[in-house]
A and B are shown apart, each in its own frame.
Chain A
Amino acid sequence: MAFPLPRGITPPEISFLAEMEMVSILPRQRLEGLELLGGPIEPLLPPRRATLPLWLALLLKRQRRANILPPSWLHPESLSLILDIETQHGDTKGAFSPPPPLPNQPSAQEHYQKRPVAIPHYTPDGNRYFPSSPFLPQNVAVDQGPVGEAPRLPFHWLEVGTMLLEAASDDLVDPDQTRRLLKELREVRSSKMRSGVDVLQSAAVGGNLVSLTGVGAMEIGENRGFISGVVDGLRRIGASKEQARREQMAGEMGSGGYGATQDDDDDDDMEF
């Protein structure tokens, strides 16, 4: 009555979030800087690039006041590289291609290329705050990406890609090929999502998790109802079993056998 939408953000709301991603534009006219509620935007001076939220970039693009510089991952070459990773790697079969690292995430090549240590922001209430998507520059155009680093699909790849294809296809490199590759990626990844339902059972037990690292926002949105429905159904079925297991664990904790049981439980953590 008060609010008709179900629990968990719905696909239109995910698009709304994706519109907060920052993208690079090449303005065609001057505009002074503005203080918006979503943060300040820099002044637009035509030959210089600017970084704006996607919704504003699309607004300017539709009025032919700017060109959008496509992010480096939204390029046929990068997309086919990612598609190769998604389809070929034997050892990571079933897992998604790795997502772009968070600022405070150690990368694989850290030993020779020292990353700046992420200093957490602080909220006015004094808590630590680590920014994440959509407030990371995952979709800005960079001239020279890190050498030797494979392109990564950002969290909002499907939404940003679709919106840019729809509104700014003349700014993209080979939009038809890009569209085809995005569609292929989507199919490969959604079949992985479907084939992973077997491990959902382990999430129905308390304290366990099912890892979905690398998944996109819209892919979560599509599968949220199904996954939470399945896991909650399994949890209700297994409630009495779990209760018995807890009692057994509590008993073993008393007799000192607690460490052994916990190791067993950790093995239940499976990758998709």
Chain B
Amino acid sequence: MDIDDILASVDQPDAFTPQSTALDHQLLTRFWVAERGVSELLPWPAGLMDRTMDRVRRQIEAIEDLAASSSDPYATTTTNNNNNNPTLNLKLSILQTDLSRTQYLVRSLLRHRLSKLSKHSMHYLLLVSPGPSTSSPAQDDDDETNDPHPQDSIPPLPASSSDPATTAPLSPQELAFLHAHQSLLAKHYASSFLSSFPPQLRRLDDNAGGTSMVQAPETKEVVFVRCLVDGARVVVPAADGEEDDIYATAMHVGDVAVVRWEGVRDAWGRGEVEVL
């Protein structure tokens, strides 16, 4: 990052100018396409979503005010000039169409995130839980002595779930959903069949025999990307036991390519590629 970048980032647009509205709309659209395109959950864009929801709320209020003024003849004759009235219905339909389009984007984005969360719920719970490696051996000791329940394998919620840094890729609401969902699921498994199993086979995060029962999303699946800066490189992430990532083929600006998601995930995070 050179000095121009720093100056430009300090000189950010104010959050309520029309330009920043347009920029946020573009960012939301790009994030939606990316979330729909990749197999794993992307980091929750807290600032972007807060701004978008705030704007949606204010836009709904503006539309309601406008609709109220059109249905109230007294208000229209006193406050508006005449050439405004014929286009009022048109304006309302444009504003409502625009609102519905944004709401559709947000709804589709959230629903797709929920479907990813419920598909790999254990994986994401272990991801956000503080220190899963330290807590599980202690629980394993308990398993020998007590009568274990499958619910025990659910990691506890992080203590300060309001702090966005601890809930990394999830929003606080998503974390609450995830925990409730997995608790219900574990209870259901326990009452329907797991309680008749031997105690050592009851855990939902069993990794006996070297295979983990927790399914993670497949990051090697391919995605379609467009390169936005020159020289973004496809990465082969280091496997276990290797230290460095291997940098493979470089892409040029404007190139569209089919590539593994794990190879361009970091470049996506830096905004160098976009998912199509």
Q: A interface vs B, CB < 8 Å?
A: 1-3, 5, 7-9, 13, 16-17, 20, 29-32, 34-40, 55-56, 59, 63, 65, 99, 101-102, 104-106, 119-132, 134-135, 200, 203, 206-215, 217, 220, 224, 227-228, 231-232, 235, 246, 249-250, 262, 265-266, 269
**Quick one: which of A200, A207, A215 contacts B263, CB cutoff 8 A?**
A207
Q: B interface vs A, CB < 8 Å?
A: 5, 8-9, 12-13, 15, 18-27, 29-30, 33, 36-39, 45, 47-48, 51-52, 55-56, 59, 83-84, 87, 90-91, 93-95, 97-99, 101-102, 104, 108, 111-112, 114-115, 118, 218, 220-224, 226, 228-229, 234-236, 239, 241-242, 246, 248-249, 251, 253-260, 262-263, 270-271, 274, 276
The distance in angstroms between the C-alpha atoms of A231 and B224, with both chains bound, is 12
Is the beta-carbon distance between A203 and B222 smaller than 8 angstroms? yes
Is the beta-carbon distance between A269 and B33 smaller than 8 angstroms? no
Q: Which residues of chain B have C-beta atoms less than 8 A from A17's C-beta? A: 29, 33
User: What are 10 residue pairs bridging A and B, where the CB atoms are less than 8 Å apart in the complex?
Assistant: A39-B25, A122-B9, A124-B12, A124-B51, A125-B48, A200-B258, A203-B258, A209-B258, A210-B258, A212-B256
* Residue from A99, A206, A232 whose CB has the most chain B CB atoms within 10 Å: A206
Q: Which residues of chain B have C-beta atoms less than 8 A from A7's C-beta? A: 36-39, 221
Q: Which residues of chain B have C-beta atoms less than 8 A from A32's C-beta? A: 84, 87, 91
Q: Which residues of chain A have C-beta atoms less than 8 A from B235's C-beta? A: 207
Is the beta-carbon distance between A56 and B249 smaller than 8 angstroms? no
Is the beta-carbon distance between B249 and A99 smaller than 8 angstroms? no
Q: How far is the CB of B169 from chain A (nearest CB, A)?
A: 15
* Residue from A30, A209, A215, A227 whose CB has the most chain B CB atoms within 10 Å: A209
Q: Which residues of chain B have C-beta atoms less than 8 A from A119's C-beta? A: 8
Is the beta-carbon distance between A37 and B118 smaller than 8 angstroms? no
The distance in angstroms between the C-alpha atoms of A38 and B112, with both chains bound, is 22
Q: How far is the CB of A81 from chain B (nearest CB, A)?
A: 20
Is the beta-carbon distance between B220 and A235 smaller than 8 angstroms? yes
Is the beta-carbon distance between A36 and B98 smaller than 8 angstroms? yes
Is the beta-carbon distance between B21 and A34 smaller than 8 angstroms? no
The distance in angstroms between the C-alpha atoms of A132 and B20, with both chains bound, is 16
Residue of A nearest to B109 (CB): A3
Is the beta-carbon distance between B224 and A123 smaller than 8 angstroms? no
The distance in angstroms between the C-alpha atoms of A228 and B223, with both chains bound, is 7
Is the beta-carbon distance between A31 and B18 smaller than 8 angstroms? no
Is the beta-carbon distance between B271 and A128 smaller than 8 angstroms? yes
User: Can you list the 5 inter-chain pairs with the closest CB atoms, starting with the nearest?
Assistant: A39-B22, A207-B248, A3-B115, A207-B236, A40-B18
Is the beta-carbon distance between B59 and A124 smaller than 8 angstroms? no
Is the beta-carbon distance between A262 and B22 smaller than 8 angstroms? no
Is the beta-carbon distance between B83 and A206 smaller than 8 angstroms? no
Residue of A nearest to B251 (CB): A209
Given contacts A7-B37, A37-B55, A131-B26, contact A209 B234 (CB under 8 A): yes
5 further interface pairs, Cβ-Cβ under 8 Å (given A59-B97, A121-B23): A34-B94, A203-B222, A206-B260, A209-B251, A231-B222
Given contacts A102-B228, A246-B239, contact A207 B21 (CB under 8 A): no
Is the beta-carbon distance between B9 and A126 smaller than 8 angstroms? yes
**Quick one: which of B21, B26, B253 contacts A104, CB cutoff 8 A?**
B253
The distance in angstroms between the C-alpha atoms of A213 and B276, with both chains bound, is 12
Q: Which residues of chain B have C-beta atoms less than 8 A from A59's C-beta? A: 93-94, 97
Given contacts A31-B90, A130-B229, A207-B236, contact A220 B253 (CB under 8 A): no
Given contacts A3-B112, A40-B22, contact A31 B87 (CB under 8 A): yes
Is the beta-carbon distance between B256 and A20 smaller than 8 angstroms? no
* Residue from A2, A20, A129, A220 whose CB has the most chain B CB atoms within 10 Å: A2
The distance in angstroms between the C-alpha atoms of A228 and B36, with both chains bound, is 14
Is the beta-carbon distance between A36 and B95 smaller than 8 angstroms? yes
Residue of B nearest to A130 (CB): B228
Q: Which residues of chain B have C-beta atoms less than 8 A from A265's C-beta? A: 248-249
Is the beta-carbon distance between A38 and B98 smaller than 8 angstroms? yes
Q: Which residues of chain B have C-beta atoms less than 8 A from A262's C-beta? A: 246, 248
The distance in angstroms between the C-alpha atoms of A5 and B111, with both chains bound, is 10
Is the beta-carbon distance between B224 and A224 smaller than 8 angstroms? yes
Is the beta-carbon distance between A250 and B242 smaller than 8 angstroms? yes
Given contacts A102-B228, A105-B254, contact A122 B101 (CB under 8 A): no
The distance in angstroms between the C-alpha atoms of A135 and B22, with both chains bound, is 10
Given contacts A35-B21, A126-B12, A127-B270, contact A132 B90 (CB under 8 A): no
